[in-house]
Amino acid sequence: MNKTDYFYMQRALFLAQKGRFSVSPNPRVGAVIVHDNKIIGEGYHRQYGEAHAEVNAINCVKDKTLLKKASIYVTLEPCSHYGNTPPCADLILQHNIPRVVIANKDPFEKVNGSGIERLSAKGVEVISGVLKEEAAKINRRFFTFHQKKRPYIILKWAETADGFIGRSSDDPNKADSWITSAASKQLVHLWRAEEDGILVGKNTALIDNPTLSTREVVGKNPSRILIDRNLEVANDFKILNDEATTFIFNAIKNEKKQLLNYFKIDFSSNEKVLVDILSELHHQNIQSIIVEGGSETLQSFIDLKLWDEARVFSAEKKFYKGIKAPDFRGNKISTISIQKDVLSIYHPS
């Protein structure tokens, strides 16, 4: 990898992140076109179902004759199949772009190297693997979805300085149960806007009556996912309102009613429950989820090693008794302070 390729791929990666809230279940992709060491066009995938990054980059090149002597930098292998849009590999060939620099090969089974093969077969110089780790991190949800056949799973909780995530039902201070700062709450709502789904168990729905929306920020509401074996959450609870599509996994019925989707699954073991849920979410094109509680639900994902990232807030507040935080081990990769809270990010150890 030369310094020039590194430089322009960095720009393409920056552009790719602009699609973080709008392109799922497609990947985040950026593209930069360079002629004579000058950027003559750039673009990114803006919206699911709309033009890909390569199309937007080529369309903004004013003098198309320059493309015959240009390089295009793309964060993910150009597609080679017809989906919502025509193949980007064919568009590159149509404009006779002689050099293509790629960060990652596309794991999607309808591409998975075929875009590179098509370009190479026509004499295009293809260079792969430039900033591949950085590009893979940006598209970790997309890669997990296609390689592991399940959503990317983010665990999230807040705990007090003495290790509790909630008060006990008999605590006289139960009304004062909020743990973190307003800034942390707003950040969580921003995270929700970035992911496809948010999952909670029945107890969290009954005790907290959460909306699970992005009301603190401007952004789409994620699909809500509720584990409610015996359908104990009544229809007037906020999680069943019409603000977002909701999946209810239960042991009683399969039914679709407006935005409510009931799926009957096997509750014979925690493993069976989670495997069935993740399989159905994959089928529903839910590429990523945040698991927000409660303690038993979070612990089930931890015990079965079904998680990719954990975001844990620690606050100064103390409860002295209550619902203990999950028993958890992971590799801490970063720590930041948000007002008086500490946010630690973990990956599986």
- What does the buried/exposed string (b/e) look like for 20-59 if buried means 16 or more CB atoms within 10 Å of the residue's CB? ebbbbbbbbbbbbbbbeeeebbbbbbeeeeebbbbbbbbe
Q: For residues 304 and 310, what is the distance between their CA atoms, to the nearest angstrom?
A: 14
Q: Is 54 a catalytic residue?
A: yes
SS3 323: strand
Spot the catalytic one: 54, 77, 194, 292: 54
Q: How many residues does the chain have?
A: 349
Q: For residues 203 and 285, what is the distance between their CA atoms, to the nearest angstrom?
A: 26
What tokens appear for 310 in the block? Answer: 């954990």
Q: What DSSP state is assigned to residue 321?
A: S
Question: Contact 250/231 with Cβ under 8 angstroms?
Answer: yes
3-state SS track over 227-281 = ECCCCCCCCCCHHHCCCCCEEEEECCCCEEECCEEEEECCCCCHHHHHHHHHHHH
SS3 92: helix
SS3 155: strand
Instruction: Name residue, tokens 């700062």.
Output: 181
Question: Contact 15/54 with Cβ under 8 angstroms?
Answer: no
Active-site positions read: 54
